[in-house]
Amino acid sequence: MNATAGRKPVHLAVYDTFADWETGHATAHLARAGHEIRTVGPSIDPVTSIGGLRVTPHLALDALRPEDSALLILPGADLWDTGEDLAPFARTARAFLAAGVPVAAICGATAGLAREGLLDDRAHTSAVSFYLAATGYAGGGHYVETDAVTDRGLVTAGPTEPVAFAREVLRLLGVYEGEVLDAWYRLFHDSDAAAYAVLEKAGAR
């Protein structure tokens, strides 16, 4: 399916050590629904994922503007916990949310947003509560023990929940809803064969 004319692209952040398995469900089904996926890196130089995939970003982070995007997706990466290399992506997430453009962060990216103060007053989740507590953030009281959370345009999830993460993204952008979204999740998360018939009927495979 081709991207719908006039629809803003979804931006997927890519950087060295990004966890390539965490966002695949989300980007694949967004693309199938007509959303253009554009990668954004620290620069336009190639980066390499944890899985050894070499990706050349479509654009550099300093060229990304919230008004040109439908969503910013931030995958986990070792670099989130080893220094300040990815802090500019967290600051960009702040700009997106301030502009009313949603952000979706999974795994280590949630710690980056915690350090930026973006989880201090939003319901959120991550790998485990003490992982975020180690950042020194002030949002521990808003931590939710669940697979994925959406609050005021911000999706968060832990590293073991790429399907739940995608479910929240697909809901947020209106790709699937109601029983179709539920069936999509049951098929890809629970291998529930009965869910396939619901998706087939809705043309949402």
* Tokens matching residue 176: 């699937």
Residues contacting 183, CB < 8 A, separation 6+: 192, 195, 196, 198, 199, 202, 204
Tokens 């952040």 belong to 13
Altogether, the residues listed in the chain come to a count of 205
A 10 A CB-CB count for 146 gives 14
Q: Which of 193, 184, 189 is nearest to 32 (CA)?
A: 184
Set 107, 148, 154, 180: catalytic member: 107
Active site (annotated) includes residue 100:
no
Active site positions, annotated: 107
